[in-house]
Amino acid sequence: MFDITVGNDGHVRLTGRLDATQVETARAAFAGLDTSCTVDFEALEYISSAGLGVLLSAQKRLSQSGHSLKLTNLNSHLREIFRIAGFDRVFTIE
Amino acid sequence: MSSNGHFKREIDALPRIFEFTGAFAGQRALDDSIVFAMNLAVEELFTNIVKYGAGHDKEVGIELDVRDGYLVIEVVDEDAEPFDITAAEKVDVNKRLDEREAGGLGIHLIRSMMDYIKYEYSDRTARITLKKRLEG
């Protein structure tokens, strides 16, 4: 199960598991962002490289207009995956 | 005793695959971090097979076991083009954002999270064996 909600305040919340079957849902939601946002991972249990690719593509696109994603509330497993993927170098992670 | 499953060569097989890995994890009382790594590695291998082995009908075999203090994952593709993941180009995760590409992260994650990777190929059958050391 995966869900992504985008609040009016630019706060993105991910829920459940972002695996390869959910990539298009995630991609469509992130494609709609046009300003800096906080992405809250508190309710996300799992992410694979498919989801990482969506995040990276969104960050690259937003950076072209001076915007960026800030990632928050990652659990220890996600934090480790993001470190391995070098995302701590291209995202602000809190 | 190992757990064996066979899965249709399509992304929509993933939920069934996660049920399979979840059942195995429950039976063996695996630690959360091991379960996470197992699910990730299985998904990355399986999605690569689906992506690069499309057009073939044969199901993909996945075997899970705990042996000699290791989680052992074996994925078998009986109708495969050769692609040795141990020889795949390394991903530079230190690049600047504008130089980063999304591709290759799956194999990079497997390499980083697993303690052993073996690729065997013969008669169109590819067998990938992964091992991860269990704590304690």
d(Cα B88, Cα A78) in Å, to the nearest integer?
24
Are the Cβ atoms of A46 and B39 closer than 8 angstroms? yes
C-alpha torsion angle, residues B31, B120, B57, B102 (rounded to 10): 60
Residue A37 burial (CB count, 10 A) = 21
Q: What is the pLDDT of residue B136?
A: 62
Residue B133 burial (CB count, 10 A) = 12
Share of chain B above pLDDT 90, in %: 82
d(Cα A46, Cα A18) in Å, to the nearest integer?
6
d(Cα A20, Cα A38) in Å, to the nearest integer?
23
Are the Cβ atoms of A20 and B11 closer than 8 angstroms? yes
Query: Residues 34-93, chain A: which have Cβ within 8 Å of B?
Result: 46, 48-50, 52-53, 56-57, 59-60, 63, 76-77, 81, 84-86, 89-90
Give this prediction's pTM: 0.95
The answer to whether the beta carbons of residues B36 and A17 sit under 8 Å apart is no
For B5-37, how does the pLDDT look when each residue is reduced to its tens digit (9 = 90+)?
999 999 999 999 999 999 999 999 999 999 999
Nearest to A77 among B33, B95, B102 (CB): B33
State both tokens at A53.
């690719």
Are the Cβ atoms of A85 and B43 closer than 8 angstroms? no
Strand-strand pairing, A92-93 and A69-72? parallel
Assess whether pLDDT exceeds 90 at residue A46.
yes
The pLDDT mean for chain B works out to 94
Cα three-residue angle B52-B58-B61, rounded to 5 degrees: 85
The answer to whether the complex's ipTM is over 0.85 is yes
Chain B: closest CA distance from residue A54 (Å):
8
Q: What is the pLDDT of residue A8?
A: 82
Q: What is the pLDDT of residue B55?
A: 67
Instruction: With cut-offs at 50, 70 and 90, classify the pLDDT of residue A48.
Output: very high
For B78-103, how does the pLDDT look when each residue is reduced to its tens digit (9 = 90+)?
988 888 999 998 999 999 999 998 88
Nearest to A53 among B36, B94, B105 (CB): B105
Assess whether pLDDT exceeds 80 at residue B43.
yes
